[in-house]
């Protein structure tokens, strides 16, 4: 049936991949009868496209507004829906009030299982999510048609999202062919999940994997979606997401459900720039899902990005060799906190390379002088590792609708670029510019702090410019503004890149 769906996608010249057709067919199967308008709402497609899609379904003999017996059988076999709870699927996907009530009713049933989770290892940024959060995350797979007849990867799973997914799967389609794989560095987590999966007959496979190693070939390009709650550093997120890209099937419109701590606007911008550079589309950002048990470092909450893959995916970190840079918060930001015993006033330093690395450990052991377990914070310092600072600052400037005559004048372009270097307070070492026949100019201004480069396409009114410096005191934006004004650009865009960070 997958080949038929791919052919329908080709026949319709549909930009979305066949996964959108899967969503439509599941809606027809579980909702019994769908108008064109209602199906358009459920698939986020324009009504004319949904009408054309229904006609293609009818050509296959599957039905149009409702499924024929042939259509029901084909979809049931494709998604392994024998014994499926159609009413539950319908209510969970259409009724938010029922969904909220269903989550509340099932928390107690899972709490006993979740209580068996090992203690959080803060050294690798673990923080246990609540059972409520686990169920909400699992329901995302249902919302994005990533639950039935799929391969799901949980990349790092101290949150036990795999258990919530398997629980939901058994409730809706107990005979589904869905497979869930857990890859984690914490053998305690793997052992506990494996035992639970065995006891409850859940379709979960748990395997040891250190994300700093290349992804094993066994798991490369095998999955439809990935769940990951990454370390709370940018480089940690980039590494986990790079491995997720390696694990996903190569077609577009696969999903990554990515949880990450809330950060400052600047850090949020850096993260989203990175997501875009890797080829992800941010489908949505959920601020009301992730809650953690006693995770003061996060403010007890985090954001969840629903990421969608495109045909332009690029791993930020290659999969060929071991990654050796620090990725966890405790490695990247070395924190030390001075605590004072409330009873005897004895002071201790808590943090990396000290006797107690966390306040939890100190409280558990008690004050070494009087065994009291209550402490007050006196002083807190954060020392970032050197590789957090960018070695270079790089602006990629694109100028459209420029002065066409100027774009072909090598002497004027050289003057503008050298003057831009002066505007940036840079020191020019040398320059070289060349005019191509019949048109186009390329040039470089070498400065002590790095370089400025340009290439022009007069026939398109376009210029591509790089302004790069290894000195943070250089006024890059003044150079960029000057260049933009001198070329009389009607449209200008910038891409800011931190080099060597």
Domain coordinates in residue numbering, the chain: 2-79, 90-308, 329-388, 392-499
> What mean pLDDT comes out for the span 328-335?
70
Topology classification of domain 392-499: 3.60.90
Topology classification of domain 90-308: Rossmann fold (3.40.50)
Between 457 and 288, whose confidence is greater? 457
The radius of gyration of the chain's CA atoms, rounded to the nearest angstrom, is: 28
What's the pLDDT band for 136 if we cut at 50, 70, 90? very high
What's the pLDDT band for 17 if we cut at 50, 70, 90? confident
> Which of 203-212, 219-228, 449-458, 464-473 has the lowest average pLDDT?
464-473
How many angstroms separate the CA atoms of 149 and 2, rounded? Answer: 11
Between 470 and 353, whose confidence is greater? 470
What's the pLDDT band for 126 if we cut at 50, 70, 90? confident
> Which of 149-163, 354-368, 409-423, 479-493 has the lowest average pLDDT?
354-368
Q: Above 90 in pLDDT, residue 326? A: no
Percent of the chain past pLDDT 90, that is, above it, reads: 53
| 455 is an active site residue | yes
| 470 is an active site residue | yes
Strand order in the sheet with 462-469: 428-435, 441-447, 450-457, 462-469, 392-400, 491-499
pLDDT of residue 298: 47
Is residue 117 within 8 A of residue 58, CB to CB? The reply is: no
Maximal CA-CA distance, the chain: 86
Residues in Cβ contact with 460 at an 8 Å cutoff, skipping those fewer than 6 apart: none
Q: Above 90 in pLDDT, residue 390? A: no
Q: Above 60 in pLDDT, residue 388? A: no
pLDDT of residue 364: 83
Query: Which range in 231-240, 288-297, 349-358 is most confidently predicted, on average pLDDT?
Result: 231-240
Between 211 and 325, whose confidence is greater? 211
Average pLDDT, the chain: 89
Indicate the pairing of strand 255-260 with strand 225-229. Answer: parallel
> Which of 13-22, 67-76, 392-401 has the lowest average pLDDT?
13-22
> Which of 71-80, 373-382, 404-413 has the lowest average pLDDT?
373-382
pLDDT of residue 335: 67
User: Of 194, 315, 442, 470, which residue is the catalytic one?
Assistant: 470
pTM: 0.77
The CATH code of domain 2-79 reads 1.10.10.10
pLDDT of residue 389: 66
How many angstroms separate the CA atoms of 401 and 464, rounded? Answer: 12
How many angstroms separate the CA atoms of 323 and 314, rounded? Answer: 17
pLDDT of residue 297: 45
Q: Above 50 in pLDDT, residue 296? A: no
How many angstroms separate the CA atoms of 385 and 364, rounded? Answer: 29
How many angstroms separate the CA atoms of 166 and 145, rounded? Answer: 15
Between 114 and 20, whose confidence is greater? 114
Cis ω before 438 (30° cut-off from 0) = yes
Indicate the pairing of strand 392-400 with strand 281-291. Answer: unpaired
pLDDT of residue 474: 80
User: Of 31, 346, 435, 455, which residue is the catalytic one?
Assistant: 455
User: Of 162, 176, 302, 450, which residue is the catalytic one?
Assistant: 450
What's the pLDDT band for 387 if we cut at 50, 70, 90? very low
């Amino acid at each position: 049936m997958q080949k038929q769906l791919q052919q329908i996608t080709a026949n319709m010249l549909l930009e979305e991949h066949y996964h959108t057709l899967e969503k439509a067919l599941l809606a027809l199967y579980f909702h019994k009868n769908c108008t064109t308008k209602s199906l358009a709402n459920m698939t986020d497609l324009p009504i004319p496209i949904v009408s054309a899609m229904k006609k293609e379904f009818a050509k296959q003999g599957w039905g149009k507004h409702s499924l024929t017996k042939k259509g029901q059988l084909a979809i049931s076999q494709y998604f392994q829906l024998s014994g499926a709870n159609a009413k539950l699927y319908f209510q969970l996907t259409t009724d938010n009030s029922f969904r909220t009530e269903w989550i509340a009713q099932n928390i107690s049933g899972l709490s006993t299982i979740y209580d068996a989770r090992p203690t959080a290892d803060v050294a690798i940024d673990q923080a246990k999510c609540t059972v409520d959060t686990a169920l909400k995350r699992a329901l995302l797979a249902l919302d994005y048609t990533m639950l039935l007849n799929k391969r799901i990867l949980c990349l790092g799973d101290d949150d036990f999202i795999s258990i919530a997914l398997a629980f939901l799967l058994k409730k809706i389609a107990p005979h589904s062919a869905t497979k869930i794989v857990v890859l984690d560095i914490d053998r305690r987590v793997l052992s506990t999940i494996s035992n639970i999966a065995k006891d409850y007959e859940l379709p979960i496979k748990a395997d040891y994997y250190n994300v700093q190693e290349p992804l094993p070939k066994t798991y490369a390009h095998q999955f439809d979606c990935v769940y990951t709650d990454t370390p709370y550093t940018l480089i940690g997120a980039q590494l986990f997401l790079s491995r997720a890209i390696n694990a996903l099937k190569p077609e577009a419109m696969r999903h990554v459900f990515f949880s990450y701590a809330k950060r400052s606007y600047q850090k949020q911008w850096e993260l989203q720039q990175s997501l875009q550079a890797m080829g992800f589309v941010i489908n949505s950002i959920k601020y009301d899902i992730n809650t953690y048990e006693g995770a003061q470092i996060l403010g007890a909450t985090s954001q969840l990005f629903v990421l969608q893959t495109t045909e332009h995916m690029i791993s930020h970190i290659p999969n060929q060799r071991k990654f050796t840079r620090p990725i966890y918060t405790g490695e990247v930001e070395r924190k030390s906190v001075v605590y004072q015993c409330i009873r005897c006033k004895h002071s201790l330093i808590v943090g990396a390379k000290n006797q107690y690395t966390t306040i939890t450990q100190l409280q558990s052991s008690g004050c070494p002088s009087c065994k009291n377990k209550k402490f007050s914070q006196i002083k807190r310092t954060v020392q970032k590792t050197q590789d957090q600072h960018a070695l270079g600052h790089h602006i990629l400037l694109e100028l459209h609708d420029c002065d066409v005559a100027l774009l072909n004048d090598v002497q004027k372009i050289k003057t503008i670029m050298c003057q831009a270097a002066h505007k940036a307070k840079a020191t020019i070492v040398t320059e070289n510019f060349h005019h191509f026949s019949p048109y186009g100019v390329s040039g470089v201004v070498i400065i002590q702090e790095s370089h400025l480069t340009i290439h022009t396409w007069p026939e398109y009114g376009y210029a591509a410019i790089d302004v790069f410096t290894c000195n943070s005191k250089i006024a890059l934006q003044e150079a960029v503004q000057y260049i933009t004004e001198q070329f009389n650009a009607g449209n200008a865009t910038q891409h800011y890149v931190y080099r060597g960070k």
